[in-house]
A and B are shown apart, each in its own frame.
Chain A
Amino acid sequence: MNTLLRRQLIMGGVILAALLAAPFVLPMYWVIVLTEILTMSLFALSFNLLFGYAGLLSFGQAGFFGAGGYFAVLTLIHGPQSLWAALAAGLLGAALLALVIGWFCVRLDEIYFAILTLGFGMMLFTVAHNWRTVTGGSDGLGGFTVPEMSLLGFQVNLFNPKNFYLLVLFLVVLGVLLLLRVVQSPFGLLLKATRENSNRVSFVGANVRSVRLFAFVLAGALAGIGGALFALFNRIASPEMLHWSFSGKAVLMTILGGSGVFLGPAAGAAIFFVLEHVITAYTTNWMLFLGAILVVLVLAFPKGVLGSLLGLYARRWKGPKP
């Protein structure tokens, strides 16, 4: 494991400890904010599997995020009142969609890939927006209750934000660990190679499309869980969750935190929320500032906040290069 990653994991461990303690120390409002940050972190991290590691910019990840939400809610409305069933439906549904859509998208490169993913994402948005009978149309899909979670024989009440927060924390950490494994695996190396030189990867015998599709499905599945949690959290699945501008959020968070570092997107999600919180206290024009910040980041800090910080720290610690 390289030092950069190790440092992040140590940092992550410390933060995890803090996050575990949070619901017992912080006021309810912050627990709720943290829940949302965690959910969006998962979304952003799944996006970065494609962007940072595979070199694929997808503007359609919200499609899988939202689909996960809808599948989860639909399960609760039409199926068993089981939390795990709902989450599983979100995961599998999103993964399946990613498989189908991804099969088409991996045939394209670079900018065309970005546009096609945007297109498919918007097709999903249209379905969610217009299919009133199933998805509730533009009003979204509500009218369900979050069931109690059965855990090890106990029934946990998820109306309590603390409990819900801990569930989200648990699942997000699980997702992060999974991503960590993937990124460090032989497949992860191959994925990085396709980012560096996809042409050469086929000349060493790997089917680049298959590698990319696999990553696409993984990313979609994780986005799906994020979406399921998001929908349950907000008590509604709405079409906005699938709009390309929602995909844009994942992109922004990733760039904010840094696409080149593993936990960058998670840091970005946190920074995003903090910024939003601070700036909207003064003005309603917070997108203005966000746009400006993005421009500054792209121009001056392409590594993102976390990436630049870690880079600075590394240089100071190691001293000047020989």
Chain B
Amino acid sequence: MLLFLISMGLTTVFGVMGVLNFAHGSLFMLGAYFCMQFVRWVGSFWVGLLVGPPIVAVLSILIERYLLRPLYGRDVSFQLLLTFGIMLFLDDGVRLIWGAAYHLVNPPDILSGVIPFFSQTYPVYRLFLVLLGPLLGIALWAFFTFTRWGKILRAAAMDRQMAEIIGVRVPVLFTAVFAFGAWLAALGGALAAPHQSVGPAMGERIIIESFIVVVIGGMGSFPGAFVGALILGLMNSFGTTLVPDLQMALPYILLAVVLLTRPRGIFGGEA
């Protein structure tokens, strides 16, 4: 379900701005690292969860404003290349600041430990994540459906020119969307910290998977990100048991099938 959060951010950014952010995974990773850092300083996971992601969001505002904005008129390839460069920078940056080792973050006390589940034990934190996922999904859906900002974002995702005409200030909107996407990614990262070990390869691992989720679900589609993450998650779980050798390739095969039969994705609008 973390994949859903990250993909949600990625697809929002793509839907509204048309930018496929290679560095998105790195933002996820930064969220995890900041959370870990706050846990070290303050001792509280909740602080890390609350404070980490907004810091990443601020960072992303700077990125969007000064690095990405100059490229809007240009070829899409250059935007992709820019975010690729940012990804390289950030991925190595964390190595510089925190070292290359993997770190463990303990979940907060209320959520630590295991509970018995049928014949196996299940980590409480995992359960927390499983429950949180749909909750966040619903919260986001509510945000997009009922609040003013949410509606503006959806409208802009569907038709940027029209949004401009009715008075939405596009540059501000873009910055806001980018920051929002970054916040989601970082939130995912902070939540992921107790679950996986925090390390420099986190970003690289997750970016490809979220690309695939976004493509399968439909670029710019919010329900698409949910369904896509679900499909990919299921595929990964079943794949490990059914076809262990091919398991690594399954997401890519699915990607190819979707791109070749229905490039817009499941819920995608115009290609």
* Complex Cα gap A294–B88 (Å): 9
A287 and B81 contact, CB distance less than 8 A:
no
Q: How far is the CB of B125 from chain A (nearest CB, A)?
A: 30
B residues less than 8 Å from A130 (CB atoms): 245-246, 248-249
Partner of B259, one of A112, A123, A126, A131: A112
B259 and A119 contact, CB distance less than 8 A:
yes
A residues less than 8 Å from B149 (CB atoms): none
* Complex Cα gap A104–B74 (Å): 27
B54-85 at interface with A (beta carbon < 8 Å): 67, 70-71, 74, 76-78, 80-82, 84-85
A residues less than 8 Å from B211 (CB atoms): 115, 118
A residues less than 8 Å from B101 (CB atoms): none
Partner of A57, one of B77, B91, B208: B77
B256 and A104 contact, CB distance less than 8 A:
yes
| Interface 0/1 of B99-121, CB less than 8 Å to A | 00000000000000000000000
Q: How far is the CB of A313 from chain B (nearest CB, A)?
A: 24
A291 and B259 contact, CB distance less than 8 A:
no
Among B80, B81, B95, B245, residue most surrounded by chain A Cβ atoms (within 10 Å): B81
Partner of B93, one of A112, A118, A288: A288
A178-203 at interface with B (beta carbon < 8 Å): none
A107 and B85 contact, CB distance less than 8 A:
no
Would you call A142 an interface residue if the criterion is a C-beta within 8 Å of the partner chain's C-beta atoms? Answer: no
A285 and B88 contact, CB distance less than 8 A:
no
Partner of A255, one of B81, B245, B252, B271: B81
A291 and B204 contact, CB distance less than 8 A:
no
Would you call B86 an interface residue if the criterion is a C-beta within 8 Å of the partner chain's C-beta atoms? Answer: yes
A residues less than 8 Å from B252 (CB atoms): 119-120, 122-123, 126
| Interface 0/1 of B128-172, CB less than 8 Å to A | 000000000000000000000000000000000000000000000
B residues less than 8 Å from A131 (CB atoms): 245
> Which chain A residue lies CB-closest to B77?
A57
A288 and B76 contact, CB distance less than 8 A:
no
Partner of B85, one of A108, A116, A294: A294
Would you call B122 an interface residue if the criterion is a C-beta within 8 Å of the partner chain's C-beta atoms? Answer: no
B204 and A245 contact, CB distance less than 8 A:
yes
* Complex Cα gap A183–B271 (Å): 31
B256 and A291 contact, CB distance less than 8 A:
no
* Complex Cα gap A255–B75 (Å): 14
A288 and B77 contact, CB distance less than 8 A:
no
B residues less than 8 Å from A297 (CB atoms): 85
| Interface 0/1 of A36-56, CB less than 8 Å to B | 000000000000000100000
B223-260 at interface with A (beta carbon < 8 Å): 245-246, 248-249, 252-253, 255-256, 259-260
* Complex Cα gap A297–B249 (Å): 34
Would you call B20 an interface residue if the criterion is a C-beta within 8 Å of the partner chain's C-beta atoms? Answer: yes
| Interface 0/1 of A94-116, CB less than 8 Å to B | 00000000001001101110111
B249 and A299 contact, CB distance less than 8 A:
no
| Interface 0/1 of B8-40, CB less than 8 Å to A | 000000000000100000000000000000000
B89 and A298 contact, CB distance less than 8 A:
no
| Interface 0/1 of A288-322, CB less than 8 Å to B | 10111111011100100000000000000000000
A122-166 at interface with B (beta carbon < 8 Å): 122-123, 126-127, 129-131
* Complex Cα gap A252–B58 (Å): 28
* Complex Cα gap A108–B265 (Å): 13
A residues less than 8 Å from B208 (CB atoms): 118, 122, 244
Q: Given contacts A107-B260, A119-B252, A122-B208, are A299 and B80 in contact (CB under 8 A)?
A: no
Helix, strand, loop or mixed for chain B's interface?
helix
Would you call A251 an interface residue if the criterion is a C-beta within 8 Å of the partner chain's C-beta atoms? Answer: yes
B residues less than 8 Å from A298 (CB atoms): 71, 78, 81-82, 85
A247-293 at interface with B (beta carbon < 8 Å): 248, 251, 255, 284-288, 290-293
Would you call B215 an interface residue if the criterion is a C-beta within 8 Å of the partner chain's C-beta atoms? Answer: yes
* Complex Cα gap A320–B252 (Å): 52
A residues less than 8 Å from B198 (CB atoms): none
Partner of B253, one of A123, A255, A284, A285: A123
A198-248 at interface with B (beta carbon < 8 Å): 244-245, 248
A residues less than 8 Å from B204 (CB atoms): 245
A116 and B259 contact, CB distance less than 8 A:
yes
Among A104, A118, A122, A130, residue most surrounded by chain B Cβ atoms (within 10 Å): A122
> Which chain B residue lies CB-closest to A294?
B85
B93 and A251 contact, CB distance less than 8 A:
no
B71 and A299 contact, CB distance less than 8 A:
yes
B residues less than 8 Å from A295 (CB atoms): 67, 82, 85-86, 89
B67 and A285 contact, CB distance less than 8 A:
no
Among A57, A131, A244, residue most surrounded by chain B Cβ atoms (within 10 Å): A57
B residues less than 8 Å from A248 (CB atoms): 84
* Complex Cα gap A122–B248 (Å): 9
Partner of A123, one of B76, B84, B215, B256: B256
B256 and A120 contact, CB distance less than 8 A:
yes
Cβ contacts A to B, 13 pairs, < 8 Å? A107-B260, A108-B260, A110-B76, A112-B263, A112-B271, A119-B252, A127-B249, A130-B246, A130-B249, A288-B93, A295-B67, A295-B86, A298-B82
The 8 residue pairs across chains A and B that have the minimum distance between CB atoms: A291-B88, A291-B89, A294-B85, A126-B249, A287-B92, A288-B92, A295-B85, A119-B252
| Interface of B toward A, CB cutoff 8 Å | 20, 67, 70-71, 74, 76-78, 80-82, 84-93, 95-96, 204, 208, 211-212, 215, 245-246, 248-249, 252-253, 255-256, 259-260, 263, 271
